[in-house]
Amino acid sequence: MLKQVSIYAENKKGMLQEITGALAQNGINIWGSVTNDSAEFGIIRMIVDDPAQASQILQKAGYLCKLSDVIGVEMADEVGALHKLLEALKDSNINIDYIYLSFDRESGLPVQVLHTPDTAEVESCITARGFKVV
């Protein structure tokens, strides 16, 4: 299971650059991210090499942050791989809240990052169906 940092930030020019700059200045490596925006605020979700430290750094800089459990599923880099994962989840009656892409630095393979209401149950299901959880 992975820890994700969710950052709530004002939707204005340069905000993402400020966040990534603060992380870079403190040696935090970003492995994957997705940004969802609204008119005034957005949520930036990231997988980083040190989520606790990243959260502390960003909170000190004035950002509201939350750490969440997410599941990383290593995928084959081939046509239909994501579809197979989604079929397995559907067959198990599992809904995902959101999904985004990262990759495994050692294997070089894509990693789908999933957020679900019950990470332990979903992790067990995915593993039983032959998927590799990172």
In this prediction, residue 38 carries a pLDDT of 73
Q: What are the φ and ψ backbone dihedral angles of 12, each rounded to 5 degrees?
A: -145, 160
Confidence (pTM) = 0.86
In this prediction, residue 1 carries a pLDDT of 81
Rg (CA), the chain: 16
The domains of the chain, with CATH numbers, are 2-68 (3.30.2130.10), 70-133 (3.30.2130.10)
In this prediction, residue 10 carries a pLDDT of 87
In this prediction, residue 104 carries a pLDDT of 81
Ordered mean pLDDT values, 10 residues apiece, the chain (134 residues):
92 91 96 83 93 97 95 93 93 91 85 92 91 92
In this prediction, residue 53 carries a pLDDT of 98
